[in-house]
Amino acid sequence: MLQVSNLNVYYGESHILRNVDMSIPSGQMVCLIGRNGVGKTTLLKTIMGLLKSRTGEILFTGKPISKIATDRRVRMGIGYVPQGREIIPRVTVKENLLLGLEARPQGRKGNEAIPEEIFALFPVLKTMLSRMGGDLSGGQQQQLAIARALMGKPRLLVLDEPTEGIQPSIILEIEAAVKRIIAATGISVLLVEQHLHFVRQADKYYAMQKGGIVASGSTSELSQEIIQEFLAV
Amino acid sequence: MSALIEGLFNGISIGSVLLIAALGLAIVFGLMGVINLAHGELMMLGAYTTFVVQNVFKPLGEPWFELYILFSLPVAFIVSALFGLALERGVIRFLYGRPLETLLATWGVSLILRQFVRSVNWLLVISIAVFCLCFFGGMAILKRLSHWERIRNWAITILLFISSAISIALGFLIDRVGTLALTKPWFSARNVDVTAPTWLRGGWKILGFQMPYARLFIIALTIICLLGVYWFLNRSTWGLRIRAVTQNRSMSACLGIPTAKVDALTFALGSGLAGVAGCAVSLLGSVGPNTGQNYIVDTFMVVVVGGVGNLFGTVVAGLSIGIINYLIGSGTLALIFTSTESLKPLVDFFLFFATSSMAKVMVFAIIITFLQVKPAGLFPQKGRTAEL
Ligand SMILES: Nc1ncnc2c1ncn2[C@@H]1O[C@H](COP(=O)(O)OP(=O)(O)O)[C@@H](O)[C@H]1O
Ligand SMILES: [Mg+2]
């Protein structure tokens, strides 16, 4: 689904990503782990086109996308749930969800209804449709952000720390929702996560250190040392 | 009682002129954060468009001529919007997030536009058309080449050179052999007059004073524009896109919103509204190359006082500035205090400012004081756009 090869990304003169290689097979869930500040978000932003890579190539469903603008990448089928959620603050929850429709390949057509599956996954949202996005709690915003990404029917879902700063009961809800999404749609997922329980849901992991991938493999063989070294727990 | 209504009417009518002129800027500057110093010139373009439409309708005779103003409104909107679109695509989109450069560039554009209406003639129009045809036509053909990305910079330089050479040469040629009609300026540097249709002349007599129809028309037009803009921003699909992009640009792109298109559309909308405002002010007096300049300071003032990015604030600010301006300028404020002998100095003070130009000075002073107390305006914007 997604191949990243030999990616080098800089912020100004500081070298953040170093020769990153990674691949997400179709229909699989891949988890990216690493301590704070190693460059996980930077990698995701580069995949979305928010940052430019100096060298390297990104292939999505076999097509090179490095030169394609962010909004077109999204319409090709990449749904993004950023770190910090980035809900549009002074727009209602319903409008935030409708904005998710923009990601459909043909764009948004008129006022479509919000599908029931979204509310089945996140029942809280149904009662909050007319609230401002910025007024929701962190957990609700996170659920809204995932729901919004799903509105566009993506083929690859990119989640950046969806459980960061969220109370434990909601973490479990979000985890369960992601599992149900994968079971129902067969979507591929790229997840950045710090909670071991959630990491173990993935098929494959990549571990990052100082801007490079230093370990990878199946999550079933995640050893205690790797967990000690790369998870901030 | 009638004096109060008269004061209110005049204040609102000054305010509605300010408001309609500031409405486009409230979108371009308020929502997009672009400091467009050519906004006044976009108004002027609208006013000149009204003049042209009027001249087209003149030979059509009576029933039609009466209606020209209704036709010129959409035409002025379209002309200014198209020019705004070209300005955004050609200049401003390269300068997002660089206010100083935007300021200088748009100031340059305003100078160009002012000179353009002074000297525009068929020769100039033909030359520009030929240039655009050569340049953009050439680009379109060259873009089909497979190695376009590599030769891009070179191709643009060479095309620019060739197209200018062709259009200048053609210009000289026409100048030699052509008739005077081709080189005669359309408007010249002098002001032109838009004559209001008869149904907008005169006024509505009520309670012993007269409300000029032209003013009532502008008030109605302002209300319609306000409602239209409100509906568009809050109810339409593109309005939602515009709000999303102005609140969080990078996340909007990550949702699949075509941000570049949204920027172009927003700018075109703001520019088009400037055109409508130009059409409105052409009813109030003669129109010249400097018409836009008379409004640019006022419009920025209204947007800043209202609170940047807040349409409702713009409305309140426009009307209050209009009313305060009238109360001071007409001497009404001085009249209130004449009854009390001890307030004589205060009366003298207000009488001193009781002319339209001195009233402006006082309003300016009041606004500067106000902005010391509330630098973010009447209704400061909360959230991340405010931090920019
Ligand atoms: N806007 C920025 N400008 C400069 N450096 C940045 C910026 N954002 C992040 N960085 C740096 O890039 C590195 C990687 O950051 P990030 O990708 O956010 O890490 P992670 O998501 O793994 O915690 C950090 O060292 C951080 O300081
Ligand atoms: Mg991060």
For residue range A133-152, what is the model confidence (pLDDT) as tens digits?
999 998 999 999 999 999 99
The confidence score (pLDDT) of residue A113 equals 82
Tokens describing residue B283: 């009813």
The confidence score (pLDDT) of residue B382 equals 58
Average pLDDT estimate for A206-219: 90
CB atoms B243 and A91 under 8 Å: yes
Average pLDDT estimate for A99-111: 82
The residue whose CA has the least distance to atom 21 of ligand 1 is: A41
- Nearest chain B alpha carbon to A147: B255
The confidence score (pLDDT) of residue B177 equals 81
- What's chain A's average pLDDT? 90
Any CB–CB contact under 8 A between A48 and chain B? yes
- Residue spans of chain B under pLDDT 50: 383-388
First to last CA, chain B: 47
Predicted confidence band at A111 (pLDDT cuts at 50, 70, 90)?
A: low
Predicted confidence band at A110 (pLDDT cuts at 50, 70, 90)?
A: low
Which residues keep their CB under 5 angstroms from ion ligand 2?
A 41, 83
Residues on chain A touching B256 (C-beta within 8 angstroms): 71, 74-75, 102-104, 107, 152
Which helix (H) or strand (E) segment holds residue B155: the answer is helix B148-177
Spatial distance between the Cα atoms of B334 and B355, rounded to a whole number of angstroms: 12
Sequence letter at residue B376: A
Predicted confidence band at A25 (pLDDT cuts at 50, 70, 90)?
A: very high
The confidence score (pLDDT) of residue B10 equals 83
Spatial distance between the Cα atoms of B262 and B258, rounded to a whole number of angstroms: 6
SS3 string of B177-246? HCCHHHHCCCCCCCCECCCCCHHHCCEEEECCEEEEHHHHHHHHHHHHHHHHHHHHHHHCHHHHHHHHHH
More reliable by pLDDT, A48 or B347 = A48
Any CB–CB contact under 8 A between B259 and chain A? yes
For B83, counting Cβ atoms within 10 Å of its Cβ (0-12 exposed, 13-18 middle, 19+ buried), the class is buried
Spatial distance between the Cα atoms of B365 and B371, rounded to a whole number of angstroms: 10
CATH architecture of A2-230: 3-Layer(aba) Sandwich (3.40)
Helices B2-25 and B311-329 sit at what angle, rounded to 10 degrees? 140
User: To test ligand 1's pocket by mutation, which of A7, A16, A20 has the most ligand atoms within 8 angstroms of CB?
Assistant: A16
CB atoms B253 and A69 under 8 Å: yes
The confidence score (pLDDT) of residue B106 equals 95
Can you tell me the ipTM of this complex?
0.91
Cβ neighbours for B91, distance < 8 A, ≥ 6 positions apart: B105, B106, B109
CB atoms A148 and B255 under 8 Å: yes
More reliable by pLDDT, B193 or A58 = A58
* Structural domains for chain B: 2-116+204-379 (1.10.3470), 121-184 (no CATH)
Portion of chain A with pLDDT greater than 70, in percent: 98
Of B237, B243, B248, the CB nearest to A86: B248
Q: Which atom of ligand 1 is the closest one to the Cα of A160?
A: 21
C-alpha closest to that of B296 among B34, B77, B38: B38
Instruction: For residue B287, give the DSSP letter.
Output: B
What does pTM read for this prediction?
A: 0.89
Of B243, B253, B383, the CB nearest to A71: B253
Cα of A233 vs centre of ligand 2, distance in Å, is 15
The confidence score (pLDDT) of residue B385 equals 43
Q: Which atom of ligand 1 is the closest one to the Cα of A36?
A: 23
Surface of A (67-106) touching B: CB under 8 A: 69-71, 74-75, 80, 82, 86, 88-91, 95, 98-100, 102-104
Q: Which atom of ligand 1 is the closest one to the Cα of A192?
A: 21
In sequence order, what DSSP letters do the residues of chain A get, joined into one string?
Answer: -EEEEEEEEEETTEEEEEEEEEEE-TT-EEEEE--TTSSHHHHHHHHHTSS--SEEEEEETTEE-TTS-HHHHHHHTEEEE-TT----TTSBHHHHHHHHGGGSTT---S-PPPPHHHHHH-HHHHTTTTSBGGGS-HHHHHHHHHHHHHHT--SEEEEE-TTTT--HHHHHHHHHHHHHHHHHH--EEEEE---HHHHTTSSEEEEEETTEEEEEEEGGG--HHHHHHHS--
The confidence score (pLDDT) of residue B212 equals 87
Any CB–CB contact under 8 A between A168 and chain B? no
Residue given tokens 């493999």 in the structure block: A217
